[in-house]
Structure 1
Amino acid sequence: MRGQLLATLRGPETRASTAPVPANAEFLGIRLTLGTVLRPHPATSIVDGYVPFPVTDSGRVVIGGEAWEAPTYDNVEQFVRRLRDAGLLVRPRRGIDDHIAGHPEGRPSSRTLQRRYRTITGLSQTAVTQIDRVNAAATMLRHGRDWRGVVETLGYFDQAHLAHALRRYVGHTARELQAGDATVSFLYKICPRPGS
Protein backbone atom coordinates (compact mmCIF):
# COMPACT_ATOMS: atom_id res chain seq x y z
CA MET A 1 0.00 0.00 0.00
CA ARG A 2 1.38 3.42 -0.98
CA GLY A 3 3.10 5.28 1.87
CA GLN A 4 2.80 2.32 4.24
CA LEU A 5 5.68 1.33 6.53
CA LEU A 6 6.21 -2.39 7.09
CA ALA A 7 8.81 -3.81 9.47
CA THR A 8 9.77 -7.47 9.79
CA LEU A 9 12.50 -9.67 11.19
CA ARG A 10 13.51 -12.42 8.77
CA GLY A 11 15.13 -15.53 10.13
CA PRO A 12 18.06 -17.49 8.78
CA GLU A 13 17.18 -19.21 5.52
CA THR A 14 18.07 -22.73 4.48
CA ARG A 15 16.99 -22.29 0.86
CA ALA A 16 16.52 -19.58 -1.75
CA SER A 17 13.27 -17.68 -1.54
CA THR A 18 11.59 -14.88 -3.43
CA ALA A 19 10.16 -11.70 -2.02
CA PRO A 20 7.46 -9.62 -3.67
CA VAL A 21 8.68 -6.17 -4.66
CA PRO A 22 5.82 -3.74 -5.27
CA ALA A 23 6.38 -0.88 -7.70
CA ASN A 24 7.99 2.20 -6.14
CA ALA A 25 8.81 0.31 -2.94
CA GLU A 26 11.86 1.29 -0.92
CA PHE A 27 13.68 -1.17 1.30
CA LEU A 28 16.13 -0.80 4.14
CA GLY A 29 17.70 -3.99 5.46
CA ILE A 30 19.81 -4.49 8.53
CA ARG A 31 21.85 -7.65 8.27
CA LEU A 32 22.74 -9.14 11.65
CA THR A 33 25.93 -11.13 12.12
CA LEU A 34 25.61 -14.85 12.67
CA GLY A 35 24.67 -15.50 16.29
CA THR A 36 23.11 -12.07 16.91
CA VAL A 37 19.57 -12.35 18.27
CA LEU A 38 16.72 -9.87 18.55
CA ARG A 39 14.91 -10.77 21.75
CA PRO A 40 12.38 -12.28 22.23
CA HIS A 41 12.82 -13.99 18.82
CA PRO A 42 15.54 -16.66 19.00
CA ALA A 43 16.94 -17.69 15.64
CA THR A 44 15.54 -21.22 15.99
CA SER A 45 11.99 -19.84 16.11
CA ILE A 46 12.22 -18.01 12.77
CA VAL A 47 14.33 -20.25 10.51
CA ASP A 48 12.90 -19.88 6.98
CA GLY A 49 10.30 -17.46 8.33
CA TYR A 50 9.73 -13.98 9.63
CA VAL A 51 8.09 -11.97 12.38
CA PRO A 52 6.10 -8.84 11.46
CA PHE A 53 6.45 -5.90 13.85
CA PRO A 54 3.51 -3.61 14.53
CA VAL A 55 3.85 -0.03 13.32
CA THR A 56 2.11 2.78 15.20
CA ASP A 57 0.04 5.49 13.49
CA SER A 58 2.95 7.86 14.05
CA GLY A 59 5.30 5.53 12.09
CA ARG A 60 7.18 4.02 15.03
CA VAL A 61 8.10 0.32 15.06
CA VAL A 62 7.07 -1.72 18.11
CA ILE A 63 9.83 -4.09 19.23
CA GLY A 64 9.91 -5.72 22.65
CA GLY A 65 6.76 -3.86 23.72
CA GLU A 66 8.30 -0.43 23.09
CA ALA A 67 7.77 1.93 20.14
CA TRP A 68 11.04 2.84 18.39
CA GLU A 69 11.75 5.49 15.79
CA ALA A 70 11.79 3.66 12.45
CA PRO A 71 15.27 3.16 11.02
CA THR A 72 16.33 5.25 8.03
CA TYR A 73 19.54 5.40 6.04
CA ASP A 74 20.61 8.31 8.24
CA ASN A 75 19.86 6.80 11.67
CA VAL A 76 20.31 3.05 11.18
CA GLU A 77 23.49 2.82 13.25
CA GLN A 78 21.88 4.67 16.16
CA PHE A 79 18.79 2.46 15.82
CA VAL A 80 20.90 -0.70 16.18
CA ARG A 81 22.87 0.83 19.06
CA ARG A 82 19.65 1.74 20.93
CA LEU A 83 18.29 -1.80 20.53
CA ARG A 84 21.58 -3.19 21.82
CA ASP A 85 21.68 -0.77 24.76
CA ALA A 86 18.10 -1.74 25.67
CA GLY A 87 19.14 -5.42 25.79
CA LEU A 88 16.97 -6.38 22.81
CA LEU A 89 19.81 -7.02 20.38
CA VAL A 90 22.34 -9.47 21.77
CA ARG A 91 25.18 -11.66 20.59
CA PRO A 92 27.80 -13.76 22.30
CA ARG A 93 30.62 -11.60 23.70
CA ARG A 94 33.16 -14.06 22.38
CA GLY A 95 32.99 -15.70 18.97
CA ILE A 96 30.25 -18.29 18.52
CA ASP A 97 32.67 -21.21 18.67
CA ASP A 98 34.32 -19.89 21.83
CA HIS A 99 30.94 -19.22 23.41
CA ILE A 100 29.72 -22.72 22.65
CA ALA A 101 32.87 -24.49 23.87
CA GLY A 102 33.65 -22.27 26.86
CA HIS A 103 31.94 -23.93 29.80
CA PRO A 104 33.39 -24.70 33.23
CA GLU A 105 32.50 -28.40 33.04
CA GLY A 106 35.28 -28.95 30.51
CA ARG A 107 35.15 -29.74 26.83
CA PRO A 108 31.61 -30.82 25.89
CA SER A 109 30.94 -33.62 23.41
CA SER A 110 30.73 -32.80 19.70
CA ARG A 111 27.01 -33.51 19.81
CA THR A 112 26.56 -30.96 22.61
CA LEU A 113 28.61 -28.42 20.65
CA GLN A 114 26.45 -28.96 17.56
CA ARG A 115 23.26 -28.54 19.61
CA ARG A 116 24.54 -25.30 21.19
CA TYR A 117 25.56 -23.94 17.78
CA ARG A 118 22.10 -24.63 16.35
CA THR A 119 20.45 -23.07 19.43
CA ILE A 120 22.42 -19.84 18.98
CA THR A 121 22.34 -19.51 15.18
CA GLY A 122 19.24 -21.48 14.16
CA LEU A 123 21.36 -23.46 11.70
CA SER A 124 23.79 -26.34 11.85
CA GLN A 125 27.50 -25.68 11.34
CA THR A 126 27.29 -27.72 8.14
CA ALA A 127 24.48 -25.51 6.77
CA VAL A 128 26.43 -22.34 7.62
CA THR A 129 29.52 -23.70 5.86
CA GLN A 130 27.46 -24.64 2.79
CA ILE A 131 25.79 -21.22 2.67
CA ASP A 132 29.13 -19.41 3.01
CA ARG A 133 30.62 -21.55 0.25
CA VAL A 134 27.72 -21.03 -2.16
CA ASN A 135 27.77 -17.27 -1.48
CA ALA A 136 31.46 -17.30 -2.39
CA ALA A 137 30.63 -19.31 -5.54
CA ALA A 138 27.85 -16.93 -6.58
CA THR A 139 30.09 -13.92 -6.00
CA MET A 140 32.88 -15.47 -8.06
CA LEU A 141 30.47 -16.32 -10.89
CA ARG A 142 29.00 -12.79 -10.89
CA HIS A 143 32.54 -11.46 -11.22
CA GLY A 144 33.12 -13.51 -14.39
CA ARG A 145 34.82 -16.61 -13.00
CA ASP A 146 34.24 -19.81 -14.99
CA TRP A 147 32.33 -22.58 -13.19
CA ARG A 148 35.34 -24.92 -13.49
CA GLY A 149 37.49 -22.50 -11.50
CA VAL A 150 34.75 -22.12 -8.90
CA VAL A 151 34.44 -25.90 -8.53
CA GLU A 152 38.20 -26.27 -8.10
CA THR A 153 38.69 -23.28 -5.77
CA LEU A 154 35.80 -24.05 -3.43
CA GLY A 155 36.04 -27.84 -3.39
CA TYR A 156 32.80 -28.83 -5.11
CA PHE A 157 32.90 -32.35 -6.52
CA ASP A 158 31.80 -31.33 -10.00
CA GLN A 159 29.48 -29.05 -11.98
CA ALA A 160 26.37 -30.93 -10.81
CA HIS A 161 27.34 -30.47 -7.16
CA LEU A 162 27.82 -26.71 -7.71
CA ALA A 163 24.57 -26.46 -9.71
CA HIS A 164 22.59 -28.18 -6.94
CA ALA A 165 24.00 -25.82 -4.29
CA LEU A 166 23.26 -22.76 -6.43
CA ARG A 167 19.66 -23.85 -7.07
CA ARG A 168 19.04 -24.60 -3.40
CA TYR A 169 20.67 -21.62 -1.72
CA VAL A 170 20.76 -18.91 -4.39
CA GLY A 171 17.90 -19.87 -6.71
CA HIS A 172 19.84 -19.23 -9.92
CA THR A 173 22.10 -21.12 -12.28
CA ALA A 174 25.77 -20.36 -12.86
CA ARG A 175 24.88 -19.08 -16.34
CA GLU A 176 22.28 -16.65 -14.94
CA LEU A 177 24.77 -15.36 -12.37
CA GLN A 178 27.54 -14.95 -14.97
CA ALA A 179 25.21 -13.15 -17.39
CA GLY A 180 24.06 -10.75 -14.68
CA ASP A 181 20.43 -11.76 -15.34
CA ALA A 182 19.82 -12.84 -11.77
CA THR A 183 18.46 -10.44 -9.19
CA VAL A 184 19.97 -11.60 -5.94
CA SER A 185 19.84 -9.82 -2.63
CA PHE A 186 22.15 -10.35 0.31
CA LEU A 187 25.03 -11.66 -1.73
CA TYR A 188 28.12 -10.14 -0.28
CA LYS A 189 31.73 -10.12 -1.29
CA ILE A 190 33.68 -12.52 0.86
CA CYS A 191 37.01 -14.29 0.67
CA PRO A 192 37.25 -16.79 -2.22
CA ARG A 193 37.52 -19.58 0.32
CA PRO A 194 35.01 -19.45 3.20
CA GLY A 195 36.58 -19.21 6.61
CA SER A 196 39.83 -17.68 5.39
Structure 2
Amino acid sequence: MALRFEHRDTEIDASIVDRVWRTRSDAEDTMTSAARTCWHLILSRTQGRLLAGLRGPETRATTAPVPPDTKFLGVRFALGTVLRPHPAASITDGYVPVPVTDSGRIVIGGEDWEAPTYENVEHFVRRLQDAGLLLRSRLGDEEHVAEPPEAGPTRRTLERRYRAITGLSRTAVAQIDRANAGATMLRDGQDWHTVVQTLGYFDQAHLAHALRRYVGCTARELRAGGHAAMSFLYKTHPAPGS
Protein backbone atom coordinates (compact mmCIF):
# COMPACT_ATOMS: atom_id res chain seq x y z
CA MET A 1 0.00 0.00 0.00
CA ALA A 2 1.43 3.41 -1.02
CA LEU A 3 2.18 5.98 1.64
CA ARG A 4 -0.43 8.72 1.83
CA PHE A 5 0.66 12.06 3.20
CA GLU A 6 -1.44 14.53 5.13
CA HIS A 7 0.02 18.01 5.24
CA ARG A 8 -0.85 21.51 6.36
CA ASP A 9 0.42 25.07 6.52
CA THR A 10 1.31 26.53 9.90
CA GLU A 11 0.67 29.71 11.85
CA ILE A 12 4.43 30.32 11.79
CA ASP A 13 5.79 32.80 9.25
CA ALA A 14 6.08 30.95 5.93
CA SER A 15 9.67 32.20 5.65
CA ILE A 16 10.49 29.86 8.57
CA VAL A 17 8.28 26.77 8.12
CA ASP A 18 7.01 25.77 4.71
CA ARG A 19 4.87 22.74 5.57
CA VAL A 20 4.08 20.14 8.22
CA TRP A 21 3.28 16.59 7.11
CA ARG A 22 2.57 13.16 8.52
CA THR A 23 2.04 9.64 7.24
CA ARG A 24 2.24 6.03 8.41
CA SER A 25 3.49 2.81 6.90
CA ASP A 26 1.73 -0.56 7.03
CA ALA A 27 4.50 -2.77 5.63
CA GLU A 28 8.21 -2.59 4.92
CA ASP A 29 8.79 -0.88 1.60
CA THR A 30 10.84 1.75 -0.22
CA MET A 31 9.82 5.12 -1.63
CA THR A 32 11.26 7.56 -4.10
CA SER A 33 12.19 10.86 -2.51
CA ALA A 34 12.32 13.83 -4.86
CA ALA A 35 15.16 16.34 -4.76
CA ARG A 36 14.37 19.27 -2.49
CA THR A 37 15.80 22.64 -1.58
CA CYS A 38 14.57 22.56 2.02
CA TRP A 39 15.70 20.57 5.05
CA HIS A 40 13.35 18.58 7.25
CA LEU A 41 13.07 17.55 10.85
CA ILE A 42 11.64 14.02 10.73
CA LEU A 43 10.30 12.07 13.69
CA SER A 44 9.24 8.43 13.50
CA ARG A 45 7.51 6.24 16.08
CA THR A 46 7.52 2.47 15.91
CA GLN A 47 6.70 -0.02 18.68
CA GLY A 48 6.68 2.82 21.19
CA ARG A 49 10.16 4.03 20.23
CA LEU A 50 10.83 7.57 19.02
CA LEU A 51 13.56 8.35 16.48
CA ALA A 52 14.43 11.82 15.21
CA GLY A 53 16.73 13.22 12.57
CA LEU A 54 17.48 16.02 10.13
CA ARG A 55 17.36 15.31 6.41
CA GLY A 56 19.18 17.92 4.40
CA PRO A 57 18.50 19.41 0.99
CA GLU A 58 18.86 16.79 -1.75
CA THR A 59 20.33 17.43 -5.18
CA ARG A 60 18.72 14.45 -6.90
CA ALA A 61 15.94 11.91 -6.42
CA THR A 62 16.83 9.03 -4.12
CA THR A 63 15.27 5.80 -2.88
CA ALA A 64 14.61 5.67 0.85
CA PRO A 65 13.68 2.64 3.00
CA VAL A 66 10.33 2.66 4.77
CA PRO A 67 10.11 0.53 7.94
CA PRO A 68 6.82 -1.24 8.71
CA ASP A 69 4.18 -0.12 11.24
CA THR A 70 5.70 3.33 11.68
CA LYS A 71 4.20 6.78 12.11
CA PHE A 72 6.12 9.70 10.61
CA LEU A 73 5.98 13.43 11.33
CA GLY A 74 7.91 15.93 9.24
CA VAL A 75 8.53 19.65 9.51
CA ARG A 76 9.76 21.16 6.25
CA PHE A 77 11.64 24.37 6.93
CA ALA A 78 11.68 27.12 4.31
CA LEU A 79 14.72 27.81 2.16
CA GLY A 80 17.09 29.99 4.17
CA THR A 81 15.96 28.86 7.62
CA VAL A 82 19.00 28.07 9.76
CA LEU A 83 19.25 25.64 12.66
CA ARG A 84 22.46 26.85 14.30
CA PRO A 85 23.84 23.46 15.44
CA HIS A 86 23.26 21.95 11.97
CA PRO A 87 23.54 24.39 9.01
CA ALA A 88 21.94 23.10 5.82
CA ALA A 89 25.31 23.05 4.09
CA SER A 90 26.51 20.45 6.60
CA ILE A 91 23.68 18.01 5.84
CA THR A 92 23.13 18.44 2.09
CA ASP A 93 22.43 15.00 0.57
CA GLY A 94 22.63 13.54 4.05
CA TYR A 95 20.84 12.61 7.25
CA VAL A 96 21.88 13.45 10.82
CA PRO A 97 20.28 11.57 13.74
CA VAL A 98 19.00 13.76 16.56
CA PRO A 99 19.49 12.29 20.06
CA VAL A 100 16.35 11.24 21.93
CA THR A 101 16.31 10.93 25.73
CA ASP A 102 14.87 7.97 27.60
CA SER A 103 11.84 10.12 28.40
CA GLY A 104 11.17 10.77 24.69
CA ARG A 105 12.51 14.32 24.42
CA ILE A 106 14.74 15.36 21.52
CA VAL A 107 18.12 17.02 22.05
CA ILE A 108 19.03 20.08 19.96
CA GLY A 109 21.76 22.54 20.85
CA GLY A 110 22.64 20.67 24.02
CA GLU A 111 19.12 21.07 25.44
CA ASP A 112 16.26 18.59 25.44
CA TRP A 113 12.90 19.63 24.01
CA GLU A 114 9.45 18.13 24.10
CA ALA A 115 8.96 16.32 20.80
CA PRO A 116 6.44 18.14 18.60
CA THR A 117 3.20 16.63 17.39
CA TYR A 118 1.35 17.33 14.16
CA GLU A 119 -0.95 19.66 16.07
CA ASN A 120 1.60 21.67 18.10
CA VAL A 121 4.60 22.15 15.79
CA GLU A 122 4.18 25.93 16.12
CA HIS A 123 4.93 25.81 19.86
CA PHE A 124 8.07 23.75 19.26
CA VAL A 125 9.36 26.08 16.52
CA ARG A 126 8.75 29.22 18.58
CA ARG A 127 10.68 27.76 21.50
CA LEU A 128 13.68 27.06 19.25
CA GLN A 129 13.45 30.61 17.92
CA ASP A 130 13.26 32.07 21.41
CA ALA A 131 16.37 30.08 22.35
CA GLY A 132 18.27 31.53 19.37
CA LEU A 133 18.72 28.09 17.79
CA LEU A 134 16.43 28.63 14.80
CA LEU A 135 16.48 31.77 12.70
CA ARG A 136 15.68 33.15 9.30
CA SER A 137 18.63 34.24 7.18
CA ARG A 138 18.52 37.34 5.02
CA LEU A 139 19.02 35.75 1.61
CA GLY A 140 17.16 38.45 -0.28
CA ASP A 141 18.84 41.47 1.28
CA GLU A 142 21.97 41.43 -0.87
CA GLU A 143 20.67 40.82 -4.38
CA HIS A 144 22.71 43.64 -5.94
CA VAL A 145 26.34 43.13 -6.83
CA ALA A 146 28.43 46.12 -5.89
CA GLU A 147 30.94 47.62 -8.31
CA PRO A 148 33.72 48.23 -7.52
CA PRO A 149 34.18 45.32 -5.05
CA GLU A 150 35.23 47.60 -2.19
CA ALA A 151 31.76 49.16 -2.24
CA GLY A 152 30.18 45.91 -1.13
CA PRO A 153 30.14 42.12 -1.59
CA THR A 154 31.00 40.66 -4.99
CA ARG A 155 28.88 38.13 -6.84
CA ARG A 156 31.27 35.35 -5.83
CA THR A 157 31.02 36.37 -2.18
CA LEU A 158 27.23 36.42 -2.34
CA GLU A 159 27.19 32.96 -3.92
CA ARG A 160 29.44 31.60 -1.18
CA ARG A 161 27.11 33.05 1.46
CA TYR A 162 24.10 31.58 -0.31
CA ARG A 163 25.69 28.11 -0.41
CA ALA A 164 26.73 28.37 3.24
CA ILE A 165 23.13 29.12 4.26
CA THR A 166 21.19 26.81 1.93
CA GLY A 167 23.73 24.11 1.06
CA LEU A 168 22.95 24.69 -2.62
CA SER A 169 23.84 27.08 -5.43
CA ARG A 170 21.20 29.45 -6.79
CA THR A 171 21.27 27.48 -10.04
CA ALA A 172 20.57 24.20 -8.24
CA VAL A 173 17.69 25.76 -6.32
CA ALA A 174 16.14 27.05 -9.54
CA GLN A 175 16.51 23.68 -11.31
CA ILE A 176 15.05 21.68 -8.40
CA ASP A 177 12.16 24.10 -7.94
CA ARG A 178 11.40 24.04 -11.67
CA ALA A 179 11.39 20.23 -11.82
CA ASN A 180 9.09 19.99 -8.81
CA ALA A 181 6.80 22.64 -10.26
CA GLY A 182 6.68 20.62 -13.49
CA ALA A 183 5.90 17.45 -11.55
CA THR A 184 3.04 19.25 -9.81
CA MET A 185 1.60 20.42 -13.12
CA LEU A 186 1.81 16.93 -14.64
CA ARG A 187 0.33 15.33 -11.53
CA ASP A 188 -2.56 17.81 -11.78
CA GLY A 189 -3.33 16.70 -15.33
CA GLN A 190 -1.54 19.21 -17.56
CA ASP A 191 0.25 17.90 -20.64
CA TRP A 192 3.98 18.06 -21.24
CA HIS A 193 3.61 20.75 -23.94
CA THR A 194 2.12 23.13 -21.38
CA VAL A 195 4.78 22.30 -18.81
CA VAL A 196 7.62 22.87 -21.30
CA GLN A 197 6.21 26.22 -22.43
CA THR A 198 5.29 27.47 -18.97
CA LEU A 199 8.53 26.57 -17.22
CA GLY A 200 10.98 27.25 -20.04
CA TYR A 201 12.28 23.77 -20.83
CA PHE A 202 13.79 23.37 -24.29
CA ASP A 203 11.66 20.39 -25.26
CA GLN A 204 10.12 17.15 -23.99
CA ALA A 205 13.54 15.46 -23.70
CA HIS A 206 14.84 18.30 -21.51
CA LEU A 207 11.81 17.99 -19.23
CA ALA A 208 12.11 14.19 -19.10
CA HIS A 209 15.77 14.42 -18.07
CA ALA A 210 14.93 16.87 -15.26
CA LEU A 211 12.12 14.64 -13.99
CA ARG A 212 14.38 11.58 -13.91
CA ARG A 213 17.14 13.41 -12.08
CA TYR A 214 15.18 15.51 -9.61
CA VAL A 215 11.84 13.72 -9.20
CA GLY A 216 12.70 10.10 -9.95
CA CYS A 217 9.77 9.24 -12.18
CA THR A 218 8.34 9.89 -15.62
CA ALA A 219 5.65 12.25 -16.82
CA ARG A 220 3.40 9.25 -17.52
CA GLU A 221 3.78 8.00 -13.94
CA LEU A 222 2.96 11.43 -12.56
CA ARG A 223 -0.14 11.82 -14.71
CA ALA A 224 -1.27 8.33 -13.68
CA GLY A 225 -0.96 9.23 -10.00
CA GLY A 226 1.55 6.47 -9.30
CA HIS A 227 3.72 8.73 -7.16
CA ALA A 228 1.05 10.47 -5.09
CA ALA A 229 3.00 9.61 -1.95
CA MET A 230 5.63 12.15 -2.95
CA SER A 231 3.19 15.01 -3.47
CA PHE A 232 4.13 16.70 -0.20
CA LEU A 233 7.61 17.36 -1.60
CA TYR A 234 6.42 19.50 -4.45
CA LYS A 235 6.37 23.26 -4.10
CA THR A 236 2.86 24.68 -4.03
CA HIS A 237 3.86 28.01 -5.58
CA PRO A 238 2.74 28.66 -9.18
CA ALA A 239 6.30 29.03 -10.44
CA PRO A 240 9.76 27.96 -9.36
CA GLY A 241 11.68 30.34 -7.14
CA SER A 242 8.59 32.26 -6.07
CA RMSD of aligned residues (A): 1.9
Alignment of 1:157-172 (within 5 A): 157-172=202-217
Is the 1:34–1:121 Cα contact (8 Å) retained in structure 2?
A: yes
5+ long unaligned stretches in structure 1: none
* 1:73 alignment partner, SS class: coil
State the 1:22 CA deviation.
1.9
Is the 1:12–1:48 Cα contact (8 Å) retained in structure 2?
A: yes
Alignment of 1:25-64 (within 5 A): 25-64=70-109
Q: Which residue of 2 aligns with 1:139?
A: 184
Is the 1:100–1:117 Cα contact (8 Å) retained in structure 2?
A: no
State the 1:86 CA deviation.
0.5
Is the 1:101–1:107 Cα contact (8 Å) retained in structure 2?
A: no
Counterparts in 2 of 1:136 and 1:171: CA distance versus 1, 3 Å: same
Q: Tell me if 1:106 matches 2:151.
A: yes
- Mapped partners of 2:145, 2:127: distance in 1: 28
- Over residues 3-59 of structure 1, what are the superposed CA-to-partner deviations in whole Å (9 max), with x where a residue is unaligned? 211110111110112222222211111111111111211111110001101111110
Letter in 2 for 1:188: K
* 1:37 alignment partner, SS class: strand
Structure in which a larger fraction of residues adopt helix: 1
Q: Tell me if 1:97 matches 2:144.
A: no
The list of structure 1 runs, each at least 4 consecutive aligned residues, that deviate by more than 3 angstroms after superposition, is 99-103
State the 1:80 CA deviation.
0.5
Is the 1:101–1:113 Cα contact (8 Å) retained in structure 2?
A: no
Q: Which residue of 1 aligns with 2:34?
A: none
Q: Which residue of 1 aligns with 2:21?
A: none
State the 1:99 CA deviation.
4.7
Q: Percent identity?
A: 70
State the 1:144 CA deviation.
0.2
TM, length-normalised to structure 2: 0.75
Q: How many residue pairs are counted as aligned between the two chains?
A: 193
Q: Which residue of 2 aligns with 1:9?
A: 54
- Over residues 152-193 of structure 1, what are the superposed CA-to-partner deviations in whole Å (9 max), with x where a residue is unaligned? 1100011111111111111111111110011314123221x3
- Mapped partners of 1:41, 1:5: distance in 2: 20
Structure in which a larger fraction of residues adopt strand: 2
Is the 2:98–2:108 Cα contact (8 Å) retained in structure 1?
A: yes
Q: Which residue of 1 aligns with 2:233?
A: 186
5+ long unaligned stretches in structure 2: 1-45
Is the 1:142–1:177 Cα contact (8 Å) retained in structure 2?
A: yes
- Mapped partners of 2:123, 2:199: distance in 1: 37
Is the 1:142–1:180 Cα contact (8 Å) retained in structure 2?
A: yes
* 2:184 alignment partner, SS class: helix
- Mapped partners of 1:101, 1:59: distance in 2: 46
Alignment of 1:59-98 (within 5 A): 59-92=104-137, 94=138, 96-98=139-141
- Mapped partners of 2:193, 2:154: distance in 1: 38
